[in-house]
Amino acid sequence: MSAQTLTQESAEHMAREWFSKVDVLDVDATVSLCDEESVVTFGNNPSIQGVTNLREMFGGFYQYFDKMNHDIRNISVGYYIKGKKDESPVVVPVMSVMRLKSGSAGGQMRFKDFRVYIDLSPVMAMVQS
């Protein structure tokens, strides 16, 4: 298989594929788009690199949620907290930057790095209550 060319369309496809895996809270599916060079950074937290470390990070994070919903059209994220009396999402301000690379892992596009700038205090307030 030849390496994919990075275009607006392929980047959007990758973002949709990524968030479709994140939204089902499946750790293995999430890290399937990563390799040992992939880096994920949430805000000012330390960067996490490599499939094993990313699997551990996402596993720890996903345990707090019943479901998640990312809407690429508006870059809108919904967090649904386990045990929350109403089922409405908790809205949080967020901006993400994805840098992709092609040609690795049999020509499949992978994440080079994924940076998430987010204020999780509304989510953490719900988790702690």
CB 5 within 8 A of CB 16: no
Is-above-0.75 flag for pTM? no
Q: What is the pLDDT of residues 99-122, one digit of tens each?
A: 777 755 566 777 788 788 888 888
Q: What is the pLDDT of residues 2-30, one digit of tens each?
A: 445 555 566 677 788 888 999 999 999 99
Please identify which residue in the block is written with the tokens 């040609």. 103
Shortest CA distance to 39 belongs to which of 114, 122, 100, 108?
A: 114
Q: In angstroms, rounded to a whole number, what is the distance separating the alpha carbons of residues 93 and 66?
A: 20
Q: In angstroms, rounded to a whole number, what is the distance separating the alpha carbons of residues 73 and 82?
A: 26
**Full residue range of the structural domain in which residue 101 is found:** 8-128
How many domains does one find in the chain? 1
Q: In angstroms, rounded to a whole number, what is the distance separating the alpha carbons of residues 60 and 51?
A: 14
The answer to whether position 2 is within a domain reads no
CB 128 within 8 A of CB 116: no
The answer to whether position 3 is within a domain reads no
The answer to whether position 96 is within a domain reads yes
Residue 76 is part of a domain; what is its CATH number? 3.10.450.50
The answer to whether position 1 is within a domain reads no
The answer to whether position 28 is within a domain reads yes
The answer to whether position 37 is within a domain reads yes
The answer to whether position 52 is within a domain reads yes
Q: What is the pLDDT of residues 28-74, one digit of tens each?
A: 999 998 999 899 988 788 999 999 999 999 999 999 888 888 766 54
